[in-house]
Structure 1
Amino acid sequence: MRQVRLGAGAGFSGDRIEPAVELAEQGKLDYLVFECLAERTIALAQQARRLNPESGFDPLLTTRLAAVLPACRAAGTRIVTNMGAANPLAAAAEARRVAQELGLGPLVIAAITGDDVLAALDGDSMIEETGQRISDLGDRLVSANAYLGAEPIAEALSGGADLVITGRAADPSLYVGPILHAFGWAADDWHRLGQATLAGHLLECAGQVTGGYFADPGFKDVAGLARLGFPIGEFGEDGSLVVTKVAGSGGVVSPATCKEQILYEVHDPARYLTPDVTADFSRVRVEPIGPDRVAVSGATGRSRPDDLKVSLGLMEGFVGEGQIAYAGSGAVARAALAREIVRERLSRTGIALQDLRCDLIGLDALHGEALSGASGREPYEVRLRVAARTADAATAALIGAEIEALYTNGPAGGGGVSRQVREVLGIRSVTIPRASVSPVITWLEA
């Protein structure tokens, strides 16, 4: 039976690089996949591209490719990634430059575009979270990216691409694409696509399924987290799947880690919507078959949705923040007094604030004063954080200024002040008819 080996090189934009290098060098992979986009990630990338048309791709693309391309070329491993973010064409050009600098040509690169659907949105479309019309957003709307599926990735691989760079594609589709290509499956083979989507879902977050996000000391102990190994999926032409990792790497692959990842971000296990298929995970079986080897089976699928999900990036104003620390006897009382001073000062100014938070970090920052304050704890040190959302940057800066003024105008012994203002991008969702989205493949060669 034919089989492909797929390795997860990243589970988010800021992920470690060393486990991907380990996979490239020791994983005996057919495909190494880097999944690096979240909803806010691509909105921020679109914002960066507006400032510089040559930017907008993942900031670690150059470093990652330089680290893994030599081993991947030597092993014949092909790379699939969404590190193109808001600018797959610029990312592909940078990848070509890296390959030429390393002397690794010829390298065929395919850039997939078409996910940017800002110009194609229907102004009467309703935002899922708020019920607003898109036309009501005005100039707050920064970006709109549809979730592409596996077909253009499979097409690029069939066309000979050694490196496929996409923008916004659904996370599991990055793995379904190589599987479709490897076995020549039809794009409407729903049962097999359901199992392939399960494989992609298990691998897409990289270290989560090998024990990283799973770990909980004393309850779910995981060894070797400082050199956590990323997962490998062994996927057979019959739809069989084994999840494993490089022998000797840190972490663990177990039924429990796989079950947690299967449930991750799945609202309805019997109806998991992707651009490729409506997957059904409700009858999945998870069985250990050896050390760090787990067989996962039983997924199926039904016809894919008629519409594609679109992630919108919206300008939501600015957040101003200030922090100050207190330590020693009476630290909590002094921090609490500082909190009340700042609250009153901000009230006196009459500035418009949204979502004002005044937290004693380490005491009540997670669950609020009413719940956390009842514990009666008296820690040696505590840090006050005040933050709020405002309409403009100048107003946001006033919050940090009030915190800094506590150095000489507030309780004794405050120190370690920090202050910042940052722009806020909110995320909303709509759908768009599949027929309105047209993926395009652009070819480059190094």
Structure 2
Amino acid sequence: MTASCAADLLWGVNGHPFTAYPGISIEQQLDYVRDLGMKSYRVNISSPDGATKLAELVKAGKQRGVQILPVITPDLDLDNGTVDDLYAQAYDLASTLVSRFKDDIRVWELGNEMENYAILMPCEMRDSGEQYNCSWGPAGGTETTHYFSPRWSKVSAVLRGLSDATIAVDPTIRKAMGTAGWGHRGAFTRMLQDGIRWDISVWHLYGGDPEDVFKFLATLGRPIWLTEFNHPGGSQKGESQQADGLVETMTLLRRYQALYGVEAAHIYELLDEPYWAPSYEAFMGLVRLKKRGDGLWAPSGRKPAYDAVKKTIANGNAGSSSPTVSTKSLPPADHTSVPPVADAGAFHPCSLDAFDKSVFNHANQIAYAYCLILRRMPSPAEQWRAVVAMKKDPSIFPTLTKML
């Protein structure tokens, strides 16, 4: 343990300048970022088609002392794409974007909450051959077994493609990768197991004290960036609650900065998106929007959270020294063990009487059919292939025909 006095966090905010709120110029958005005292603007980009607008944003950001943090969110067909094709498509996308901006953008976030696609859902098969309880909700994501292997293989392929391409362009460019938060720690262990390379561990936070997860992330040996955080629901239940909640979280982040290696934090988000109302997504901004008569959008005043955040950033780091923990250790042994993927031909006996026949989702229909006809449970890969086929043709008869 050592003592250190760190500079303040890199504060930033999220926005969607390429895809949302027409009528609000990138200059207006960046002026808000600068006025808040922030130094980073996180934006999503899904294809090379957005490169020209990204170049404009980078140029305008430099003029205001604001760096751009792009998060590459590939628009890929995860259900139907093969692992090899998904890897190649992700690689090509990252290679194109990172190559163009390698002198201007030195940190890229690769993927956004992609592990959500792989979370184990009711009635799906575990690698152990057991069926995940049909009466439960989605798995919590805390363990490696909480991810459905056929879908995780797709996620892993995309993440590896993005990372490998970035390294090929310039190995000194920092790669930020992580999860949606909500306890999804098991995805990091799977990423390590799959040999995915990253430099910054990403987490998203919408309420609660993050110390426990920071303790885990610190063991991965990489600095931590919160690339999304806000009060739960934003200002949906009141603008003053959002302001108070953001200040409380920012205070916690400063407290944990030196302890766990927290480097940066980005509020989600800069501008309200009222077109999503009544969803909470309409209330997450620091600035209200209103629709103009011509169908475009215009600012409609700063919310209390704007001034509260600006004041908190201006106050800066209190300068107190905090003990720090090493961030160079490997994950604890109980976080690195990943069970082998079940072989497609493995035999897992079943009992028709044990099935929850009240659940009629595709996963349960496939599992029941395998048990009825083949007297065994399907492997995760077999179940997923049949489920994807049923998404195109809801009838189970083609699947039954293949079994007979």
What is the TM-score when the length of structure 1 is the normalising length?
0.31
What is the TM-score when the length of structure 2 is the normalising length?
0.33
Higher strand residue share:
1
